[in-house]
Amino acid sequence: CLGLVPPSTIMLRLGLSCLLLQVFVVSGSEFTFELPDNDKQCFHEELEQGIRFEIGYQVISGGNYDVDCFVTDPQDNVLYNEKKKQYDNFSHTTTMKGIYKVCFSNEFSTYTHKTVYLHFRHGEEQPLLESMSSVTALTQLESSCVTIHELIKTVTELQTRSRLRDALDHTKAEDLLKRVTFWSIGETLLLFVIGIGQVMMLRSFFTERKSSVAATT
């Protein structure tokens, strides 16, 4: 007699199986870093010939949310060069083996540092299983794994965009709060100065009138 397995258990096992199969995927990394004013930072990656790589960046905080970015190949040929960009994406297929360099510059800023998000991916995505590369039709398990794998990638990208958007909105809200606070303090001080000036002016009027009355008598 065979026992029935709950559907939730089947989905859990299927999900774990698909996660274990995700070993042949695109190599890459993503992180945020601080870029001080009047400074430049570079990141290096050694790649083989014929490898496709992709970079994406976005300035999360600092100044006008812009930065200079350029990419060079092993012979220092400029592959990408943009000035004062808030965000952008760039992809390229390598023509030679060597160290490729991605640099960010904040040298045009004299007093504001930046926080920059960067993701770097390279290589072509391989099938989850070697058998999937053949011309035979996929089994139901393999098809389910591929579907779950694509959904996980979509969810990961959406979560990354959401985190970046939240971080950017939070930074802008803090900057707006500082500006409103300074503006309120300035207006308060201005009101005090105007009030004291008006009181002193009115007092001078009564002092002059009292002096003139005393002189006539």
Over the stretch 59-97, which tens digit does the pLDDT of each residue have?
A: 988 888 899 999 999 999 999 999 999 889 999 999 999
| Separation of alpha carbons 133 and 30, rounded Å | 29
What is the spatial order of strands in the sheet that 52-61 belongs to? 27-35, 114-122, 52-61, 87-93
What local confidence, expressed as pLDDT, does residue 200 receive? 86
How does pLDDT run across 156-175, given as a tens digit for each residue? Answer: 778 877 887 787 788 788 88
Count CB atoms within 10 A of the CB of residue 106: 24
Comparing CA positions, the residue from 12, 99, 103 lying closest to residue 51 is 99
Query: In this model, does residue 17 exceed pLDDT 80?
Result: no
> What is the per-residue pLDDT for 129?
59
Q: How far is CA 56 from the centre of its chain?
A: 9
Residue type for position 193: V
Residues listed for the chain: 217
Q: 60 near 117, Cβ under 8 Å?
A: yes
Per-residue pLDDT at 137:
64
With vertex at residue 75, the alpha carbon angle to CA 71 and CA 76, rounded to the nearest 5 degrees, is 40
Residue the block writes with tokens 């007092």: 203
Reduced to 3 states (helix: H, G, I; strand: E, B; else coil), residue 94 is: coil
**Residue 185: pLDDT band with limits 50, 70, 90:** very high
Rounded (10°) CA dihedral 201, 207, 211, 217: 120
Band of residue 131 on the pLDDT scale cut at 50, 70, 90: low
CATH 3.40.50.720 fits 28-124, yes or no: no
- Nearest C-alpha neighbor of 67 from the set 20, 115, 26: 115
